Structure 1
Amino acid sequence: MPPRTRHTATELAPAGASTLPDLIADDLCVLIAGINPGLSSAAGGRHFGNPGNRLWPALFRAGFTPRLLDAGEAPELLALGIGITSIVSRPTVRAAELTRAEFVAGGAALRGRVLARRPRWLALLGVTGYRAAFAAPGAQVGLQPESIGATRIWVLPNPSGLNAHYPPAALAREFTRLREATGLPDRSAGTRPA
């Protein structure tokens, strides 16, 4: 029986009080940081577990992964030098439910994780979250002038299905820009459909 991808309201209710553990290791090439987990991701215990989230196709189309992974296969990212965390750990339906104080505290905690784990790149998903957590009101998508220790910072568009500003092809282009900046090879070359 295939795994369910939608959760009932009863299943989602307690998810707001849960957290998802980081998928992280020392010295990763890229640590991806979402704004915060969605309720369905928290209920399912999987980062970016909402079927409408476009992270997994964007990683594949950009060449970060050799095939299209799903949320249940997220641990495979570690062997590719990629980890996942969040700015704020509290799950919500929408990031707009988060307070300014949560963003500030989340940004400070994320800095601590980055300094402790030393990824070469921190890729933040969503310019709005980056601006709020890192006091960078003028930030745009792309390479940031700031760094955290030796870790360079890159802001990517939010891959949520709610982000209509970046259709799938444009989202993949932005993810490709980051992959090329990191020096990682195109792992999906020859495996994507023409």
Structure 2
Amino acid sequence: MAKPTAEQLLAARDTTIPDIVAPGLDVLFCGINPGLWSGATGHHFARPGNRFWPALHRSGFTPHQLRPDEQRELLALGLGITNVAPRATAKADELSADELREGGAALTERVLRLRPRVLAVLGIGAYRTAFGRRTAAIGRQPDGIGTTEVWVLPNPSGLNAHYTLDGLAAEFRRLREAVEQPTAE
């Protein structure tokens, strides 16, 4: 995957990239919004230093570490990717609270339509704003969306200094282990 030029990164501002989704996934991972690298390349979590792909692998969700340009391989593993807000920005804090709330409403509709087993939102602040859950914490949430369970995981951006890669992988692993548990019918 070639590094985008400065001009390509500037041109990526406010662009959107396609979701990697299908009905009935085991886990639909949900980023806050695409960064400029993702907007320029068309691949989720594309910026070098983003720890989504390493955490996904280290947690056992993937048999090897996928590259962003291999994102469609997730579907065969029962995994997908979407975003709360669709437009690419340099930093997530460029999004307004209204954009996040509108994104949360659109995400709710998407989840009700696609019916993944679990929605995993990657970023506690964005989740709290988008869904009006001011006291939400990392982990399984008490309220789902329809039949979909909701989890909040740490944001894998390299800008999130609160979590090391090992810490991220541990949170992702907690989700994977919960998904692997048989559901009570």
TM range (shorter): over 0.9
Letter in 1 for 2:117: R
Q: How far is 1:104 from its partner? A: 0.6
Cα distance in 2 for partners of 1:145, 1:78 equals 27
Query: Secondary structure at 1:110's aligned position in 2?
Result: helix
Cα distance in 1 for partners of 2:168, 2:37 equals 22
What are the superposed Cα offsets for residues 69-128 of structure 1, whole Å, 9 maximum, x if unpaired? 010100000000000000000111111000011001000000000000000000000101
Aligned pairs (5 A) from 1:11-30: 11-30=8-27
Aligned pairs (5 A) from 1:92-171: 92-171=89-168
Partner of residue 87, structure 1: 84
Specify which of 64, 82, 94 is matched with residue 61 of structure 2.
64
TM score, norm. by length of structure 2: 0.96
* % identical equivalent positions: 55
Cα distance in 2 for partners of 1:64, 1:138 equals 28
TM score, norm. by length of structure 1: 0.92
Partner of residue 33, structure 1: 30
Partner of residue 75, structure 1: 72
Q: How far is 1:51 from its partner? A: 1.1
What are the superposed Cα offsets for residues 37-95 of structure 1, whole Å, 9 maximum, x if unpaired? 00111101101110110000001000000001010100000000000000000111111
In structure 2, the gaps of 5 or more residues are none
RMSD over aligned Cα atoms: 0.9
Q: How far is 1:17 from its partner? A: 3.0
Partner of residue 10, structure 1: 7
In structure 1, the gaps of 5 or more residues are 185-194
- Contact conserved, 2:122 with 2:156, CA < 8 A, in 1? yes
Partner of residue 178, structure 2: 181
Q: How far is 1:7 from its partner? A: 2.2
Cα distance in 1 for partners of 2:160, 2:14 equals 25
Q: How far is 1:12 from its partner? A: 1.1
Q: How far is 1:9 from its partner? A: 2.0
Letter in 2 for 1:66: P
Query: Secondary structure at 2:19's aligned position in 1?
Result: coil
